[in-house]
Amino acid sequence: MTQEKFDTILILDFGSQVTQLIARRIRARNVHAEIVPFHTPIERMADPAIKGIIFSGGPASVYAKGSPQVNPEVFDLGKPILGICYGLQLLAHNLGGKVERGERREYGKAELHVRNKEEGISLRPELRPRGNKNNLFYKTPPKQIVWMSHGDAVRKIPRGFKVAATSAHSPYASIADRARKIYGVQFHPEVWHTEYGTQILENFAKNICKARAQWTAKHFVSEAVQEIRAQVGKRHVVHALSGGVDSTVLALLLKKALPAKQVKNIFIDNGVLRLHEAKEVMVNLKKLGLTVQHVDASKEFLKPLEGVVEPETKRKIIGRKFIEILMGNVHAKDMLSQGTLYPDVIESVSVRGPSDTIKTHHNRAPEVLELIKEGRVVEPLKEFFKDEVRVIGKELGMPDELIWRHPFPGPGLAIGILGDVTEERLRILREADAIFIEEIRNAGLYNKVTEAFAALDTSRAVGVKGDEREYGYMILLRAITTTDFMTADWYPFEPEFLGRVANRIVNEVRGVTRVLYDITQKPPGTIRYM
Ligand code: XMP
C-alpha cells in the first residue's frame, strides 16, 4: 500500500503512559505525528519527511543501568528536537548537562514563569503575540499553569542552552538552544492540566519545525475507522446514543467502519429527558442515516427515584439503572462502544469539580471496567478533546445544530429539580426549560451560550394570577459561557429578553409563580445546582 508522505513530527517513545497524547495534540493542530520506539534506527529519523523529533517522557532515570537511551546521532541530524520530562533529562544528559535525583518528587500543577528576556521577547505583554516564532511559548502568557510529574531534575544545563522558563521547584522547567533548535520542558505539555500545552506543541511543530499542516479531519476519520475495524473485527458492537455530540459522532464512525449488521444502536429514555427530547433525538439520528432502537425505560428509572432528594443518590440510581439496562443489551461476546472523551478519563477531574473525588461517570462503572479488562470496549474518542470531536462530526456530515448542541447531563432533569422528583415537577420543569431554550434560539443566542437550562426550586413563592393568589414553584434560569467547564461566567442577557422569558414562563406554565436568573460565576458556584 502506498502511503502519502506527510510532513511528520516523529515521537520517540521512552515509555510514558501519555505518549499517545503528544501525537493526538499535534494532529489536532493538523500536523501529522507518529510514535515510534526510542530505539528506532537513525535512518528512519533522517527521512526528509520528518521535520522534527520529540523525546517523550518515561518512568526511568537517565543514569540508571539499562534505562532507555537515545542514539546520540540524532543530535547531528540538524532537526529540531523537543525533550519532554524524561526527554529533557535525556538531552541534558547527552549534551553535557547534569541530571540528579530531585530532593522530592514534583507532582501536579505548577505555575510556570516564562523568561521573556532570555527568550528574546519584549517583557511588555502587549508585544507578546508578535514575539519570536522560534519561542516555544509563542502566543502564551508569561505565567501559566503546567503539569509536572518527575523525580529526577536537571541540575546543570548544557552549553549553548538558556533557561526559557522556571517554576517554584524547577529552575530549569524549560531550556532552549535556539541556534540548534533543541528545546526541553520538564512539564508535560500533552496533558489536559497544562493550560497552553497544545499551543506549545503547535509552536514546536509549525513554527520551529516548519511542518506543514496536512493532517485534516478526513485523516482523523480514516484513522479512527481503521482503529475501530482493527479492534472490533467480526464481533458485534452495542452503542448507546444520547443524542449528544460525542455518542453521535461515534455512531457515525461505527457506521463507516462496520457493516450495519454488526452494530446495534440503542437510545435509552430514562424518563428525565427534556420536552420532546426522545422524539427529536430519534428524528435527528434517522436523518443521519442511523438505525436506532428506542428503549423506553422511563418507568424503570422514575420508580426508584421516588422520594429521593439527595443529588448523589439520584445520580447513583440513574447511573445504576442505565448500566443495568445497557448491560442487558450486551450479550455474550458483544463489544460495548462509548463516546468517552479525554477529559472523561482523567481521574482527578470529576464531573462535579476537583473538590469531589467521587466520579459518577457511567463510562467507568464496574461492569464497564470488567469489559475493558476483557478488551471489549471500543472508545476511539478517548484521546480527543471536545473541539476535536466537533471537527470529526463536521467531516462526517453532522449539521451544525447537532455539533453545537449544549451539554446535557446524564441524570437530566432529576438534578434540575431541587428536591424529590415527581411527575408534576417534571412537567413544570420541562415546559419552563423549553420556553427558555426556545427564546434563546429565537434571539439568535444559542451558540453564544455554552450551556443553558432551567431548574425548579421546590420551595414555593406566592404570586397573583388573575384575582387569585397562587402558591407556586420558583424557576431558576441559568445560562453560562465557558471553554473548559472548570470556570464559567453567566451570560449577560438584555433585561427585555429576561423579562420576556419570565413572562412567558409564569403565564404559560401552570404551577410557577416566580422566575429568577442566576448570576453566580463558577467558581464558587457550579454550573448545575446539584
Ligand atoms: P458543574 O455543575 O459541576 O458542571 O459545574 C460541569 C459540567 O458537567 C455537567 N454535569 C454532568 N454531566 N453527569 C453528566 O453527564 C452528571 O452527573 C453531571 N453533573 C454535571 C454539567 O452539565 C456541566 O456541563
What is the distance between the alpha carbons of residues 389 and 217, in angstroms, rounded to a whole number?
10
% of the chain exceeding 90 in pLDDT: 82
CA–centroid distance, 351 to ligand 1, in Å, is 5
Element (H, E) at 320: helix 311-327
Mean pLDDT within 371-387: 91
CA–centroid distance, 410 to ligand 1, in Å, is 8
Among residues 404, 439, 415, 451, which one has the least CA distance to residue 244?
404
Grid cell locating 517: 436568573
Q: Whose CA is nearest to atom 3 of ligand 1?
A: 352
Probe residue for ligand 1, chosen from 418, 527, 530 as the CB with the greatest number of ligand atoms within 8 Å: 527
For β-strands 98-114 and 81-84, DSSP reports them as: unpaired
Q: Ramachandran region of residue 181, left (φ > 0), alpha (ψ -120 to 50) or beta?
A: left
Give me the domains of the chain, ranges plus CATH numbers.
8-208 (3.40.50.880), 217-403 (3.40.50.620), 416-517 (3.30.300.10)
Phi then psi for residue 374, to 5 deg, are: -85, 5
CA–centroid distance, 414 to ligand 1, in Å, is 12
Residue 345 CB: number of other CB atoms within 10 A? Answer: 16
- Tell me the per-residue pLDDT of 438-483, one tens digit each, with 9 for 90 and over: 999 999 999 999 999 999 999 999 988 888 888 999 999 999 999 8
* ω into 523 cis (within 30 of 0): yes
- Tell me the per-residue pLDDT of 261-272, one tens digit each, with 9 for 90 and over: 999 999 999 999
From residue 319, alpha-carbon distances to 238, 266, 326, 345, 366 in Å are 18, 16, 10, 17, 11
pLDDT of amino acid 360: 53
Grid cell locating 40: 528506532
- Tell me the per-residue pLDDT of 491-523, one tens digit each, with 9 for 90 and over: 999 999 999 999 999 999 999 999 999 999 998
Question: For the chain, give me the number of helices (H) and strands (E)?
Answer: 15, 18
pLDDT of amino acid 504: 98
pLDDT of amino acid 468: 85
What is the distance between the alpha carbons of residues 489 and 369, in angstroms, rounded to a whole number?
35
Atom of ligand 1 nearest to the CA of 352: 3
Task: Enumerate the H helices of 16-149 as residue ranges.
Answer: 19-28, 42-46, 86-94
Mean pLDDT within 299-317: 97
pLDDT of amino acid 146: 96
With 0-12 / 13-18 / 19 or more C-beta atoms within 10 angstroms meaning exposed / middle / buried, residue 350 is middle
pLDDT of amino acid 99: 95
Ligand 1 and 166: CB distance under 6 A: no
Among 9-13, 111-115, 324-328, 386-390, the range scoring the smallest mean pLDDT is 386-390
For 85-219, strand residue ranges (E) read 98-114, 143-156, 162-166, 174-177, 182-185
- pLDDT confidence bin for 233, thresholds 50/70/90: very high
What is the distance between the alpha carbons of residues 521 and 479, in angstroms, rounded to a whole number?
11
- pLDDT confidence bin for 4, thresholds 50/70/90: low
Mean pLDDT within 72-99: 97
Among 123-132, 160-169, 288-297, 407-416, the range scoring the smallest mean pLDDT is 123-132
CB-based contacts of 382, cutoff 8 Å, min separation 6: 340, 341, 342, 344, 345
- Tell me the per-residue pLDDT of 389-436, one tens digit each, with 9 for 90 and over: 999 999 999 999 999 999 999 999 999 999 999 999 999 999 999 999
- Tell me the per-residue pLDDT of 241-261, one tens digit each, with 9 for 90 and over: 999 999 999 999 999 999 999
Ligand 1 and 411: CB distance under 6 A: yes
Give the residue numbers annotated as catalytic, written as ranges.
85, 188, 190
pLDDT of amino acid 240: 96
Phi then psi for residue 435, to 5 deg, are: -65, -45
CA–centroid distance, 107 to ligand 1, in Å, is 27
* Cβ–Cβ < 8 Å for 248, 398: yes
- pLDDT confidence bin for 117, thresholds 50/70/90: low
pLDDT of amino acid 353: 40
Mean pLDDT within 329-357: 70
Grid cell locating 306: 421516588
Decide if pLDDT at 347 tops 80. no
- pLDDT confidence bin for 127, thresholds 50/70/90: very low
From residue 528, alpha-carbon distances to 407, 411, 414 in Å are 11, 11, 11
What is the distance between the alpha carbons of residues 336 and 338, in angstroms, rounded to a whole number?
7
From residue 314, alpha-carbon distances to 272, 319, 324 in Å are 11, 8, 15
From residue 435, alpha-carbon distances to 97, 405, 429, 504, 529 in Å are 65, 16, 10, 7, 19
Element (H, E) at 10: strand 8-13
% of the chain exceeding 70 in pLDDT: 93
Probe residue for ligand 1, chosen from 351, 352, 480 as the CB with the greatest number of ligand atoms within 8 Å: 351
> DSSP readout, 40-73?
--HHHHH-TTEEEEEE---SS-TTSTT-----GG
**What's 488's DSSP letter?**
B
For β-strands 81-84 and 50-55, DSSP reports them as: parallel
What is the distance between the alpha carbons of residues 84 and 356, in angstroms, rounded to a whole number?
30
Ligand 1 and 522: CB distance under 6 A: yes
pLDDT of amino acid 131: 58
Decide if pLDDT at 344 tops 50. yes
Ligand 1 and 353: CB distance under 6 A: yes
